[in-house]
Chains A and B, each alone.
Chain A
Amino acid sequence: MLHVVRNDFNTSLARPTEGVEECPERPARVRIVGIGKSFGETVALANVSLDFRAGEVHAILGENGAGKTTLVRILSGILKPDAGHLEINGKDVILTGRKDGAAHGIGIVQQQDGLIGELTGVENYLIDHPKASLWLDRSQANSELLQAAKTLGLTVKPEALVHELTVGERQRLEILIALVIGADVIILDEPTAALLTNEVRVLIPLIRRLVQQGRCVVYITHKLDEVMEIADRVTVLRRGEVVGRFRRSELDKATLITAMVGRVPEKMELEVRAPGEVVVELDEVSVAVSRTRRGLDGASLNVRRREIVGIAGVVGNGQEALAEVLRGLVEPIKGELRCVSRRVAFIPEDRARDGLAMTLSIADNLMLYRHRDRRFRTRGRLNMRTISKFVRDMLERAGIVSRSVALPASSLSGGNQQKLVIAREFDLKPDLIVAHNPYRGLDVSAAEAVRRALLKARDEGAAVVLISPDLDDLFDISSRIVFLSNGRVSGSIDPRSTTVHALGALLGGGSM
């Protein structure tokens, strides 16, 4: 999963040169000691002790499921730990919530749901502020934000509605708000997950400026190169435990990877398959904008059997519209869609909303496409016995264990739920598979299972479209990668003959 040959960040950005050796007099703003947290039987964190000092970038590195998110939520006050304690500026503190954390100087910028889209930036700031007065002074709040933005060299639009801002603009706004409220420690949770490369370029100097002003930036990520670029100290988490602490001078990719993964990873050899006939072809297709997503604007794409086409691009450039038109849910308003067969499988980004009906039984969910089948009916009514048998066979083949097929789908774990979706979708031997961010929210082994299922389907003759904002995911299994930007498709890259760096540069240079 991790490619050793990578170089995301352009090294032309100046490296900090002065004073980054470990400075023992730098005061520790926040310290956590012996933190433990479990959810039911799952241990998320065990005996984690860390400190965060003024004027440094402290990165926390770990895979999905290593416990980073739980740690972040405990730090910011959203969750309470089961064991251990938190010290802020030397004093033991128990945080009662996010706002309490903010009042103590800990600000957090998460990947989503940090701002209310229907309000303006100023309004979000006013709600966040622990000491806001009852009477609103919007213009003053606006000038406070603009003032702070100037000291950081940012351009922001605080009076615009948040849902009109780009992802990068929203992120900067959140950082700004956290700052103005008085955060000494700013936690950034996977900050580059949804950013364009050129927006990442704005983020790095911003972080440096924050640190120069004496704050601590906690940088949570699973991306090695970012850590190598920016961190003063790195702590590696694996399975809820601290497995490595490194200073900047000690940073070395191989060591980091080994710490993160627990073993030396092998480079995955992708077997090349000769692609077959074209299964679906988009010819200058335009799709109308809907209330929840943008449309497509003259997109052209063709996908063949036995190939996986990776769709790269930042969220919000037409991915949903592309998925919908491939699935046949919407008609193009311009251009032509030619499809060999209508058997299209879909692996969604949001399982709970688009993959399964959580309140219905496992059996009901698996019968989605087959409920009209003659063999499950006797005299117009559904035959529960044949259905049960069919469903149980399917579960067995998919490797899902469940006490009863009548239990609701919500009773399964996340990984099993995704397996359920795949079992149902692939059951009909689809010609085309559309996978939209299929690894989201899955731990390492579950994601691996999904990957294997996609490759297997490909080998059996399906055409696969893999949409993901994560270049690593695309690089792993795609036969070729194209970019979706502003509703158009461009470029076609063979992952075997290029680096993720080149891909990233193309993404950044081609738009905005």
Chain B
Amino acid sequence: MSLDRAATVAIGQRAGLLAVGIGVVIFLSSAIFFLGRADPILAFRVMLNGAFGSWSGFSETLLRFSPLALVALGLVPSLRIGLFNIGAPGQIAAGGLAAALISLNLGGLPAYLVLPLACLSAAAGGALCALVPALLRARLSVSEILSTLVFNFITVLFLQYLLTGPMKGYRVNLPESDAFPANAFLPTFVHGSRAHVGILLVIAALVAMRALEDSPIGYRLRLLGASRSLGRQAGIDEAHMIIATLCVGGAAAGIAGWMQAAGVDHRLYASIADPIGYTGLFAALMGGLQSIGVVVSSFFFAALLRGGDTLQIGADVSPEITGVLVGLIMLVMAAMQARFRRAGVWS
């Protein structure tokens, strides 16, 4: 078979598998809807409408897209070398906390100072949250899966403590902080919608990632991910790479936390990381660890999350279903990828 025909057949196979995958997901999720005494067709319609049906719905999708895409892009370098950082929820919380401290206390400064400061401190907060697991992994070979998860719980619990205690806002009985001063709000594009300029940061991250992929550093990541032994031979400091990539992931998640705090409700709240936290990892994996793919899948998941949020009102369905859908999609996609595997895990 000539190279061209083989390629066409491959594309055809891929499309066919994708169709099968989508079919399986729809079928299985409908089953779950049934078990939950909900109407799947209504549910799907509400979700689609909620995400794309109106301008405000679409801007809500964008609102979720920016932090999600940022988390996902940030996870790519560490995933490339085989590290599973599932600490995004904790890192988002840490970043949101740092940003809130800046926003609340320095809110008097003009916006062009407050915003960058808040952003940077969020990045620092997120990176710090990832630092201990990174060190544990680099120096003691402690599994980063377990350590980042532990830090999730520790950080979120700490945040909850702060928001019901020292940092408690004036709205009684809600675990949240005071509202941010207006200078600390993330500016939006269009009046009335909540889609904010965070999307510019996503574009910047995308550009940076593309540049990275083609650079010597990108080469070193690729190499280290393919062969630790050869990486050492080429003089790559493995510990250095582990710490750097995990902290980059933490910083990106931290900035996402700032977006959540400064863009959604303009205050810090306890569930700041839900449900972006774990979905970010899925988006990165589904995107095949390539920058464009990750952005596309992040958009898809953002739409899913937005649609899920409209279910409560639109179809009287608990929004927990989004977690189910996300996990289900991941499972089915992984199963399909396995059937389609050549050399290497993700092609």
Contact = CB atoms under 8 A, between A and B. Distances in A.
The reply, when asked whether chain A contacts chain B directly with Cβ atoms under 8 A, is yes
Interface of A: 327, 329, 346, 353-360, 364-365, 367-369, 371-372, 377, 380-382, 408, 410
B218 to A, nearest CB: 8
A357 B223 contact: yes
16 contacts: A327-B233, A353-B229, A356-B230, A358-B343, A360-B227, A364-B219, A364-B226, A367-B219, A369-B234, A371-B219, A380-B215, A381-B211, A381-B215, A382-B214, A382-B219, A408-B343
A377 B220 CA distance: 14
A377 B214 CA distance: 10
Interface of B: 211, 214-216, 218-220, 222-223, 226-227, 229-230, 232-234, 343-344
A212 B229 CA distance: 49
Given A368-B234, A369-B234, A410-B343, A382 B222 contact: no
Contacts of A408: 343-344
A372 B216 contact: yes
Given A364-B222, A364-B223, A408-B343, A382 B233 contact: no
Contacts of B229: 353-354
Given A354-B233, A360-B227, 5 more contacts: A329-B232, A360-B222, A365-B230, A408-B344, A410-B343
Nearest to A365: B230
Contacts of B219: 364, 367, 371, 382
Given A360-B222, A380-B211, A371 B232 contact: no
A408 B211 CA distance: 23
Contact of A381 (B214, B230, B343): B214
A314 B298 CA distance: 56
A357 B215 contact: no
Question: Which 3 pairs between the two chains have the least Cβ-Cβ distance?
Answer: A357-B227, A357-B226, A381-B214
Nearest to B344: A359
A358 B226 CA distance: 8
A371 B218 CA distance: 10
Contacts of A365: 230
A368 B223 contact: yes
A368 B230 contact: yes
B45 to A, nearest CB: 44
Contacts of B226: 357-360, 364
A346 B222 contact: no
A408 B222 CA distance: 13
A354 B214 contact: no
A354 B227 CA distance: 8
A382 B215 contact: yes
A360 B230 CA distance: 11
A358 B344 CA distance: 9
A365 B226 CA distance: 10
A372 B344 CA distance: 25
Contacts of B223: 357, 360, 364, 368
Contacts of B230: 354-357, 365, 368
B343 A382 contact: no
Contacts of A380: 211, 215
Most A CB contacts (10 A, CB to CB) among B218, B223, B232 go to: B223
Contacts of B215: 380-382
Nearest to A354: B229
Nearest to B214: A381
A420 B73 CA distance: 35
Contacts of B211: 380-381
B132 to A, nearest CB: 25
B343 A346 contact: no
A369 B234 CA distance: 6
Contacts of B218: 382
Contacts of A346: 233
A268 B214 CA distance: 49
A364 B344 CA distance: 14
B48 to A, nearest CB: 39
